[in-house]
Amino acid sequence: KNEVEQSPQNLTAQEGEFITINCSYSVGISALHWLQQHPGGGIVSLFMLSSGKKKHGRLIATINIQEKHSSLHITASHPRDSAVYICAVSQGAQKLVFGQGTRLTINP
Amino acid sequence: EPEVTQTPSHQVTQMGQEVILRCVPISNHLYFYWYRQILGQKVEFLVSFYNNEISEKSEIFDDQFSVERPDGSNFTLKIRSTKLEDSAMYFCASEGGLGNQPQHFGDGTRLSIL
């Protein structure tokens, strides 16, 4: 069983739609990370959170520690948001354990 | 903003040859990592490095792999005798180490073994 599961694996939406990507994990963690992988392959850290909610621009990340679940929301989605979004967890020793990613496509 | 840089961006090597992937982490960071991503699969942890030694390694990181921080700025991953299944994108990352901080990733090196 994967330690980090994401859903959906693929998501296609129209520009302007509200997007939600979910992540569940099965291990104890020190933090949960949301990352964005561009079509060229580069990885950028979006959020790191251990409780509650964080917001950056149109992106919002939430985590429920008791339920071992996190969501990434994108408001007013735009074609430039098209990318693979990856959930990963760290367990104190800093190494990241990754989910399989969610491929998001926003059509104009 | 400081960034992690990796070279080369693409490396093509014959099977059995040695390859060295190079990374320059952010200068005041203390923790360094290598990850790999086989095409179509998730990113996997290879090795972490702190205080000039390996702090953790995965099952993937066998005797064919080694890491070095030879001069205080570069962080290298060496694969001694490459196999076809080593073809992947290799990412270097670094972290400040002052409590919970995000990791900063390089753009990756695409390694193709022929």
The yes-or-no verdict on residue A93 having pLDDT over 70 is no
The yes-or-no verdict on residue B68 having pLDDT over 70 is yes
The predicted pLDDT at position B70 comes to 83
CB-nearest to A100 from B42, B56, B100 is B42
At B10, list the tokens: 């693409």
Burial of A18: CB neighbours in 10 Å, binned 0-12, 13-18, 19+ = exposed
Q: What is the 3-state secondary structure (H, E, C) of B48-103?
A: EEECCEEEEECCCCCCCEEEECCCCCCEEEEECCCCHHHCEEEEEEEECCCCCCCC
- A6 CB near a chain B CB, below 8 Å? no
Q: Give the chain B residue whose CA is nearest to the CA of A96.
A: B45
Contact at CB, A45 and B44, closer than 8 angstroms: no
Burial of B50: CB neighbours in 10 Å, binned 0-12, 13-18, 19+ = middle
Contact A85, A21 (CB under 8 A): yes
Q: Report in angstroms the alpha-carbon separations of B86 from A66, B93, B103.
A: 38, 19, 24
CB-nearest to A95 from B45, B100, B101 is B45
CA torsion sign for B17, B3, A10, A22 is: positive
**Mean pLDDT across chain A, nearest whole number?**
93
At B38, list the tokens: 């086989």
Q: What does the pLDDT average to over B96-108?
A: 84
How many Å lie between the alpha carbon of B99 and the closest alpha carbon of chain A? Answer: 9
Contact at CB, B48 and A93, closer than 8 angstroms: yes
- A23 CB near a chain B CB, below 8 Å? no
The yes-or-no verdict on residue A44 having pLDDT over 60 is yes
Question: Would you tell me how many other CB atoms lie within 10 Å of the CB of residue A79?
Answer: 11
- A32 CB near a chain B CB, below 8 Å? no
